Structure 1
């Protein structure tokens, strides 16, 4: 599979996954967390699909497309660990999270996901859903939409 085909698979998985999760959290209370803003495509889709939810965003720096800049009060700039700790200390509760951090080096990405998992769990409501490109630990792995290959995107529930 070419890198271009792989990218198309990833983007389709993100769209289908966000839409799937948005339906499942419709009757649950809590905010949404985007971990890794990048150029803002998934954040923009989250805004479209969950217009009545507060969407928190964590990223090392703001470098997204101008149309995708989150409100200043919802953007936490810096390393993920202190930002997740801050959200937990403030009592923020997430019903859905999208994990899109990564260095592009598999071993490093897997290690970071495992290290951040307890901090992510600390802000998730019981039953909250997490969509991730990377494996996370300490959550119940669940099946996502049938349109996504099991190895393309991972879906978790906070028990």
Structure 2
């Protein structure tokens, strides 16, 4: 598979997974969380499909497209662990999270996801869903939408 086809497959899986998770959590109280703003595409999609929810964003730096800058009060800039601790201290209850941190080196990305999993668990509402590009630890794995190939994107319940 070409890198272009692989990217298109990943982006389609991401969109389908987020849409699925939004439908699954409709009516549940809580906020959303985008872990890894990047250029803001996912955040922009979350704003569209979750207009009624506050969307927290965590990233090391604000480097997104100007149209995708989150409100200052919802953007936590810095390393994920202290930012998740800050959310937990504020009593955040996340009903839908998207985990998209990574260095682009699979072993490092998997290790970071495992290390951050307990910190993410502290902010998740009971029964909340996590859509992730990396394997997470300590959550209940779910089968996502049929349109997504197994292991292309991962789904968890808190």
Runs of 4+ in 1 over 3 A off after TM superposition: none
How do 1:43-122 and structure 2 match up within 5 A?
43-122=43-122
Aligned to 1:39: 39
3-state SS of the aligned residue for 1:34? strand
3-state SS of the aligned residue for 1:137? coil
Aligned to 1:130: 130
What TM-score does the superposition give when structure 2 sets the normalisation length?
0.99
Q: Deviation of residue 103 (structure 1)? A: 0.4
CA RMSD of aligned residues (A): 0.4
Unmatched segments (≥5 aa) in structure 1 = none
Q: Deviation of residue 27 (structure 1)? A: 1.4
Corresponding pairs, count: 158
Unmatched segments (≥5 aa) in structure 2 = none
Q: Deviation of residue 2 (structure 1)? A: 1.0
